[in-house]
Amino acid sequence: MSQQAAFNKLVGSRSNELHNLIEQWKSGRLSIDDLGDEYYDVLRRGHTEAYTLGAKQAGSKLEPSVLQTLAEQHGRAQADAEQEWLDGFLSDLESDKYTDDEGKVNLSRINNRASMYAHKLRGTANQAFVDESPNDATYDWVMSGTEAHCNDCPRLAALSPYSADELFATPGSCDTECLTGCKCFLRRSDGVPSIKRPS
């Protein structure tokens, strides 16, 4: 299985986990605090796996045990970095933000927001792709398809190529206006692409 196929499977799996946790909370089987703890764990594991896949896509020469330790460090750091947004999500769930006038919870809107957390795994995978590529590599920011783009991505593409030190964002990292909806990818100077957004 290619790293891209494995990543697509990862996003689907983690999305399903997050949606199932929402169902458990809605049915009263999980408290809001337990939901937060479980969500954090899914994000931590997801970012760990995403970092590993991105490093492998780059052709990392690290020993598997070393790569695993590095990926776990990145996974925890990224989950920690998302804690503020996760706390906001939990607060919104406890309020009436996702409840209609008849008192029914709008699961569709909740799950759409949950899916954004899963799609943000691509930012971690693409950071690993850059981290584990050769030091002298450069990267083109490539806009995929003919869909409408945000204001940031055409500028990022036009300024290509970048060295690793010049890249302040990676596709999917939520550092562009299109957030996790970004369909761009990086193409390394030897032609190897970074992880792309699952279709």
Report residue 132 as tokens: 């584990």
Q: Which of 83, 102, 125 is the last residue of a domain?
A: 125
pLDDT at 98: 86
**b/e string for 7-40 if b means 16 or more Cβ within 10 A?**
bbebbeebbebbbebbeebeeeebeeeebbebbb
Count of structural domains within the chain: 2
- DSSP category for residue 149: -
State residue 87 phi and psi, 5-degree precision: -60, -40
CA pair distance 123, 109, nearest whole angstrom:
23
| Domain-embedded: residue 30 | yes
| Domain-embedded: residue 197 | no
| pLDDT > 80? residue 145 | no
| pLDDT > 90? residue 168 | no
Are both 54 and 96 inside the same structural domain? Answer: yes
Are both 38 and 114 inside the same structural domain? Answer: yes
| pLDDT > 90? residue 107 | no
| Domain-embedded: residue 193 | no
Please, are residues 144 and 184 in contact by the beta-carbon 8 Å criterion? yes
Report residue 142 as tokens: 């490539």
pLDDT at 195: 96
| Domain-embedded: residue 104 | yes
Owning domain of residue 155: 135-188
Are both 95 and 12 inside the same structural domain? Answer: yes
Are both 20 and 100 inside the same structural domain? Answer: yes
pLDDT at 149: 76
| Domain-embedded: residue 130 | no
Are both 46 and 81 inside the same structural domain? Answer: yes
